[in-house]
Structure 1
């Protein structure tokens, strides 16, 4: 996985991480989670945001089977009536992407919920299979899982083994104090004179340090700060010791929702492609290369985009700024030199 993906869970507060970890086994994978393809809903509908412990408001969406899309699926996928969804969310999960719900059974989050919506378009029951990040790909390779929905970035290196149907922008984000009077405008120049926190050893650190060097060459200053944990980052932000935190956008979006009703409320100050200025990074449903699944997966996602369920999913999980207009099959990914 890219270093960008490995840091997603770090933005959750210590209490949240402990709560999630308590409910998730540290073993290689776990089949005990509630299927929740409909999560108690009638056939043709899917519950979104189930058991999310306040991270999302639970809603039920109507999702009819689309026979023309189902007909494109290999027989091996339809014969058991299930779509096995690969998740790489063990051991601690990563809100809002995927984590164990407050019922200690349901794997909830934007990723498994999209998998459930796609399964409904196929007329199949969703069967989430949670694993560690490494075993997520082992599951796809072995056929144990048919499609991975787990914040997987489209890269040219991964295309050697997998095919993609992309559904969300792979963005980094800036978290600001709610009352901050500035925003990141998409260029490094808007960071002149600012102090920005970033996690060490991450893709976002690499980008931020490059911006710092460019500003320095122009006679301007960008201070980069490091902290031991995310609680320290947010304390520094709220006490005005830093102007922004630069990190994975989904985790920032989650923290914004959790702080909204507190005196320490924050907001988004803008996003930036995790792939850099020249390419919009993309998160994709991932299947084994040659499986024939990428096209029907993309068509199912496009059906959800066209009929509104996709927008409601992202709104529920506060990820509207990562929406794509259409799902593409195997679009250009991060080059091998940057994968």
Structure 2
């Protein structure tokens, strides 16, 4: 088991916050005219996902009606103002495909704000997106400024002291290879024998990779670990076959795979591994203040989306199908206190 970095710091350390089009790192999350942070005012019961994503997702309009039985589970304090206040910790630069300023230079797009919009629609509420730094995301939940965080937040036992969770996506690391590569990670370190793999220094995935290298060395086998200063250098090495694979946070790899799909530098996923280590599947969760009474209705809304098919379309739009969960759980086992 390993200590899990905050999602944004892990992505940055791995060099996977990729360069977006000019202007995408603009500060703050401007809201569009409809006040939802969505570029178009969709009809009530409809949600636009993957909008202005700079090629990271396929824009899709999903029908998501209000479900009275799920809305009725919400505390009256949430429904009174007609909106669900959603916290995101994506400042200053954003993190594709999770959350960032879209190519209209004002709209918050990404898998996380889109899921928040879908859940709000199940509740029959207007999504009100509040973007901040990672640290201030939790300050917002603590203070009541935001009601639910949708920001690639990992379920940990330490966080459960203050928060409650409704979990909607696996927290995975991944291996990215050239599209023409025949190698796949089979879930065990043994499949890495003889390979050269790049990884970001000081990351959770580096700890895993170095442990696997040690196990292979004890068996008389070799795993070569390479480090590069930035993601561009890593991908140049991958394209020129100086490395066999890049090991990093699965969402950022999925983003790069999507962006290069129609180019000579096309890559693919060669497998994933739990960010929590071999003994526990890490989970990404909607997060609310402990005792708020929100975890159960959030999970009910997520399970409705899973059952009705909108969840699968959301994952497909953002190329995150390999992080799907079968059901959204309330406060499932998280990373132990000693590792979180």
Q: TM-score, normalised by structure 1?
A: 0.95
4, 8, 30: which is aligned to 2:11?
Answer: 8
* C-alpha displacement of 1:17: 7.6
1:99-114 to 2 correspondences below 5 Å: 99-114=100-115
5 Å matches for 1:125-164?
A: 125-164=126-165
The superposition leaves residues 161-218 of structure 1 with CA deviations (integer Å, 9 ceiling, x where unpaired) of: 0000000000000000111111000000000000000000000000000000000001
How many Å apart are 1:57 and its aligned residue? 1.5
For 1:12 and 1:136, the matched residues in 2 are separated by: 19
Q: Classify the secondary structure of the residue corresponding to 2:276.
A: coil
Q: Per-residue displacement from partner, 1:84-136 (whole Å, max 9, x unpaired)?
A: 00000000101110000111221000000000000000000000100000000
Tell me the SS of whatever aligns to 1:221: coil
Q: Which residue of 2 aligns with 1:93?
A: 94
Give secondary structure in 1 for the equivalent of 2:298: helix
Paired residues of 1:172 and 1:247 also in contact (CA < 8 A): yes
Q: Residue 36 of structure 1 contacts residue 106 of structure 1 at CA under 8 Å; is this kept in 2?
A: no
1:320 matched to which residue of 2? 321
8 Å Cα contact 1:161-1:289 kept in structure 2: yes
- Measure the CA separation in 2 of the matches of 1:48 and 1:215: 44
1:36 alignment partner in structure 2:
36
Structure 1 residues 4 and 192: CA distance shift in structure 2, 3 A: farther
Q: CA deviation at 1:24?
A: 1.8
Task: Output the CA distance in 2 between the equivalents of 1:122 and 1:113.
Answer: 15
- Contact in 1 for aligned 2:184/2:270 (Cα 8 Å): yes
Give yes or no for contact 1:165–1:286 (8 Å, CA) kept in 2.
Answer: yes
| Partner SS for 2:90 | strand
Report the counterpart of residue 169 of structure 2 in structure 1.
Answer: 168
| Contact 2:4–2:276, Cα closer than 8 Å, also in 1 | no
- Whether 2:311 is the aligned partner of 1:310: answer yes
Moved more, 39-48 or 286-295: 39-48
Deviations 1:227-255 (A, max 9, x none): 00000000000111100000000000000
Between the two proteins, the alignment pairs up a number of residues equal to 332
Are the structure 2 counterparts of residues 143 and 4 from structure 1 closer, same or farther at C-alpha, using a change threshold of 3 Å? closer
Name 1:255's counterpart in structure 2: 256
SS at match of 2:237: helix
- In the alignment, what sits opposite 1:265? 266
Q: Which moved further from structure 2: 303-312 or 256-265?
A: 256-265
Unaligned segments of structure 2, at least 5 residues: none
Q: CA deviation at 1:48?
A: 0.5
SS at match of 2:285: strand
Who is 2:53 aligned against?
52
Q: Distance in 1 between matches of 2:262 and 2:336?
A: 41
- Matched residue, 1:296: 297
Q: CA RMSD for the aligned pairs?
A: 1.4
Q: Is the 1:4–1:248 contact (alpha carbons within 8 Å) kept by the matching residues of 2?
A: no
- Contact 1:4 1:204 survives alignment (8 Å): no
Correspondence 1:244 to 2:245: yes
Taking a change above 3 Å as real, the CA distance of residues 223 and 17 of structure 1, as seen in their structure-2 partners, is farther
Q: Report the Cα distance in structure 2 between the residues aligned to 1:189 and 1:18, rounded to whole angstroms.
A: 42
| Conserved 8 A contact 1:237-1:244 | yes
